[in-house]
């Protein structure tokens, strides 16, 4: 199951952690692929990660959270998952 599908299924602590584990594995997989065949520093990584450092990842989560109408004021597992997922690609 891909990350988009797992994100769509997040509705509890259990499904959040299932998504988080898949997101982590996606990044580990990309890092392994990049060691073998590095992408251009001006492009996404092998699995689509735009933000490769923790600081750029966190900056993107913050920017997405501030810019997006998808994140409601109500705290819920889906919003947490969406924020973490956005750090993968949001600029």
- Assess whether pLDDT exceeds 90 at residue 1: no
Q: Residue 91 domain-assigned?
A: no
Q: What is the pLDDT, as a whole number, of residue 74?
A: 87
Q: Which two tokens stand for residue 23?
A: 């997101």
What per-residue confidence (pLDDT) applies to 71? 87
Q: Which domain holds residue 46?
A: 3-86
* 77: in domain: yes
State residue 49 phi and psi, 5-degree precision.
Answer: -75, 120
For 12, 42, 72, 73, the CA distances from 69, given in Å and listed in that order, are: 21, 28, 7, 10
The Cα-based distances of 66 to 41, 63, 71, 72, 77 in angstroms read 26, 5, 9, 11, 18
At residue 70, the pLDDT reads 87
Q: How much is the average pLDDT of 1-12?
A: 95
24-55: pLDDT as tens digits: 999 999 999 999 999 998 889 999 999 989 99
Residue 69 falls inside a structural domain = yes
User: Do 26 and 47 contact (CB within 8 A), yes or no?
Assistant: yes
Residue 11: inside a domain, yes or no? yes
């Amino acid at each position: 199951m891909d990350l988009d599908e797992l994100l769509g299924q997040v509705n509890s602590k259990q499904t959040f952690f299932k998504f988080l584990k898949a997101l982590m594995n996606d990044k580990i997989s990309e890092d392994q692929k990049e060691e073998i065949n590095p992408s251009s520093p001006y492009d996404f990584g092998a699995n689509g990660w735009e933000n490769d450092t923790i600081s750029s990842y966190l900056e993107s989560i913050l920017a997405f959270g501030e810019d997006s109408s998808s994140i409601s004021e109500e705290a819920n597992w889906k919003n947490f998952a969406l924020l973490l997922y956005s750090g993968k690609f949001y600029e």
